[in-house]
Amino acid sequence: MRIIRGKYGRRRFDVPKNITARPTTDFARENIFNVLENMSDFEGKTALDLFAGTGAVSFEFLSRGCESVTAVEKAPVQTSFIRSVKEKLGDEFLEIIRGDVFRFISSCSRKFNFIFADPPYDHPKFEEIPDLILNSKMIAPGTIVIIEHSKVRDFSELPGFVEQRVYGSVNFSIFIPFPLPAEE
């Protein structure tokens, strides 16, 4: 796993062979973060990484200046890997929650500036995930929600949909459910 840019940019970490996550490719991650950088600054913002897997997205948010990042992952191998990278970086601004994403979404009332979700493409509840996030208490005016998915999914009819980006076989749907009011 490679952190692409920011204070930890170009750092590499060996992912354990027994990890079951499907990490977002470096190419797709670099491109979606370029899009996000054009939408909002990261400095001082908060981010949530759901289905965190290897934590690559969490570390990219931290590396680019988010003041706090929460990573939610159920699998013990993945959470151990994320914790080991956090320790190697010495970054205290990453909170790792080993638990069920669906329970987290339904119980969390903390607001985030960015919410990134990369569920397993074959997850039986995949279709429900965008609605659950968009209707959760975690959304504030200006929250940017990114859902990673395969080409067979289309979320363009959901409220707050902004655009879909495609990088190889990776698709990202971007939402801003409640945009900030325009400045006069």
b/e map 9-47, b = 16+ CB within 10 Å: eebebebeeebebebbeeebbebbbebbeeeeebeebbb
pTM of the model: 0.94
Tell me, what's the pLDDT at 15? 87
Tell me, what's the pLDDT at 59? 97
What is the chain's length? 184
Pick the residue with more confidence: 26 or 113? 113
Instruction: For residues 10-17, give the mean pLDDT.
Output: 88
**Quick check: 182 pLDDT over 70?**
no
Amino acid at 31: N
As beta bridge partners, residue 62 has none
Instruction: For residues 11-34, give the mean pLDDT.
Output: 88
Angle at 62 between CA 104 and CA 130, to 5 degrees: 35
Contact 139, 145 (CB under 8 A): yes
Tell me, what's the pLDDT at 181? 63
| Three-state secondary-structure class, residue 172 | strand
Tell me, what's the pLDDT at 65? 96
CB atoms inside a 10 Å sphere around CB 159: 11
Instruction: For residues 170-179, give the mean pLDDT.
Output: 92
In the chain the domains, ranked by start, together with CATH numbers, are 26-157+169-175 (3.40.50.150)
Average pLDDT of every residue of the chain: 93
Contact 66, 45 (CB under 8 A): yes
As beta bridge partners, residue 117 has 50, 147
Asked whether the CA dihedral 70, 73, 76, 77 is positive or negative, the reply is negative
b/e map 91-106, b = 16+ CB within 10 Å: beebebbbeebeebbe
Residues 146-162 have pLDDT tens digits of 999 999 999 999 999 99
Angle at 29 between CA 69 and CA 154, to 5 degrees: 100
Pick the residue with more confidence: 24 or 51? 51
Residues 57-104 have pLDDT tens digits of 999 999 999 999 999 999 999 999 999 999 999 999 999 999 999 999
